[in-house]
Amino acid sequence: MANQRSSNPYHPHPDDGDGAAPFAGRHKAFEFLYQRLTDPAGTESSLILGRRDSGKTALLHHFSRYFDETFLGVYIPLKDTALKAEADWLRLLADGATRALTERNYTLSRLPEFTGAGVDMRGWLGDTFLPELFSIIRRQRRLVFLLDDADALLNAIAEGRLPDDSIAYLHALIGAQPQLGLVLTLDSQFEADISRFSPLIALDAVFRLANLSEDESIWLLTEPAAALYRLTPDAAAAAYRATGGQPRPLQRFGYHLFKRWEAHPDRTTLTPDDVKPVTLTVYAESEADLRAAWDRASRNERLVLTAIISLLYADPLGTITPAGIESWLVETDYPLDGTAINAAIRGLEYQEIAESTAGGIRLTAGLMQTWLLENGRLSGRAPQAEARRPGLRWLALAAAALLVIVLVLVAGQGTTPATTDTPAPVPTVTLVANP
């Protein structure tokens, strides 16, 4: 059957960043970039911020599918590039632009070539190479450098491999070339470093990628394989609830649902019964990512997550509130006040791990909920074993009370007549507590 030879369109591995995987949504991100690149009053530089595997690289790979032929995107993966010196860096930009023109069948005979060492690379790029390139593509077209993983650029500057004014130079270069634009991507773990891109990137030039919506997620799970099989609405919704709209787990679901159909190609409809075993597989493949999310969370955010999952374990249908979290934590060794709890909840919402709804606080992804049930801990115990255990302060009080009783007994023995018998040893109290 021809269908059996259909290739799997989904890419389950994090390193697949060539743009071949199905792509959904991100219309707001593209609209943001379009506005920035066409605003005559602004600087045509933007930064896309997002967590690991949130789709930053995929967004850049699909730049040309959203923008028309008047925009020439030049994709440059900085993470995979050795920026050893400024000449290498600026040559990388020129080579990328040349490659982009070649792929679009422009005639490059007039494009100046790099003549070798000793050349003022800044002058060559800005005064010779780019002006000639823009004359080739004509005045109505724009060249846009798409720099993926821009933290590599900051690292090269910090380590002295690039000049300290490299960011300012890029800003000046773009300001001097009306047909030039720039889009950077940055992992959200480096969000505190955004100010280091000044003056190239202004605060209003940053767009944060969020998880895909439910409609976008369902499209991603169904449309690429629509000619082969369909998912029932309940099956697609179950996969969405498991992932919370995170692009990488959604790709894994699509990949393994395709393989499940591939094993029985005569079945043209996949149901929740197909999603259940696939969920176990996706969970196993996502454990490292789930642990990484836990490791990136602050101490207070971990405490709140442990409280949430423990309250869910005790009452799956109960409503989780900040007050309930505070009450639960009071009876552990790690109490937090309401201000700290609310701040942690806002942090988890910003990371899209949890959200506050009319029905209380909930975790956004079923995969994370499962991982927390198995691994989230305050003191080496599974969350379900954490609930309602006395804190160290109560153990200390109990130990103190016991010590007082022992001292009273010893004092009472001191009033009895002396004997020649060897006195019994005084009992000692040892307080043992989990770290």
Give residue 378's pLDDT.
67
Specify if 336 maps to a domain. yes
Is 221 found in the same domain as 90? no
Specify if 305 maps to a domain. yes
Is 334 found in the same domain as 185? no
Is 408 found in the same domain as 433? yes
Q: Please write the tens of the pLDDT for every residue from 332-343.
A: 889 999 999 999
- How many angstroms separate the CA atoms of 355 and 345, rounded? 8
Is 77 found in the same domain as 60? yes
Helix locations, 227-271, DSSP H:
233-243, 247-263
Give the pLDDT band (50/70/90) at residue 430: very low
Radius of gyration of the chain (CA): 30
Residue 16 to residues 9, 81, 248, 423: CA-CA distances in angstroms?
Answer: 12, 17, 10, 77
- How many angstroms separate the CA atoms of 247 and 101, rounded? 31
DSSP codes, 51-108: -TTSSHHHHHHTHHHHS-TTEEEEEEEGGGS---SHHHHHHHHHHHHHHHHHHTT---
Each residue of 28-46: b (16+ CB within 10 Å) or e?
A: ebbebbeebbeeeeebbbb
Domain edge (last residue) among 257, 276, 295: 295
Give the pLDDT band (50/70/90) at residue 277: very high
Specify if 52 maps to a domain. yes
Give residue 403's pLDDT.
46
Specify if 324 maps to a domain. yes
Cβ atoms of residues 28 and 183 within 8 Å: no
Is 368 found in the same domain as 308? yes
Cβ atoms of residues 216 and 25 within 8 Å: yes
- How many angstroms separate the CA atoms of 233 and 224, rounded? 16
Is 203 found in the same domain as 56? yes
Instruction: Work out the angle at residue 102's Cα, subtended by the Cα atoms of residues 100 and 106, and round it to the nearest 5 degrees.
Output: 105
The answer to which of 1-15, 242-256, 343-357, 408-422 has the lowest mean pLDDT is 408-422
Is 171 found in the same domain as 35? yes
Is 226 found in the same domain as 198? no
Is 117's pLDDT higher than 70? no
Specify if 183 maps to a domain. yes
DSSP codes, 394-432: HHHHHHHHHHHHHHHHHHHHTTSPP-SSPPPPPP-----
Domain edge (last residue) among 157, 183, 208: 208
Is 178 found in the same domain as 289? no
Is 265 found in the same domain as 141? no
Is 101 found in the same domain as 47? yes
Range of the domain at 221: 2-11+212-295
What CATH number does residue 322 fall under? 1.10.10.10
Domain edge (last residue) among 150, 184, 208: 208
- How many angstroms separate the CA atoms of 378 and 366, rounded? 21
Provide the number of structural domains found in the chain.
Answer: 4
Percentage of residues of the chain with pLDDT beyond 70: 83
Q: What is the mean pLDDT of the chain?
A: 84
Is 67 found in the same domain as 40? yes
Is 58's pLDDT higher than 80? yes
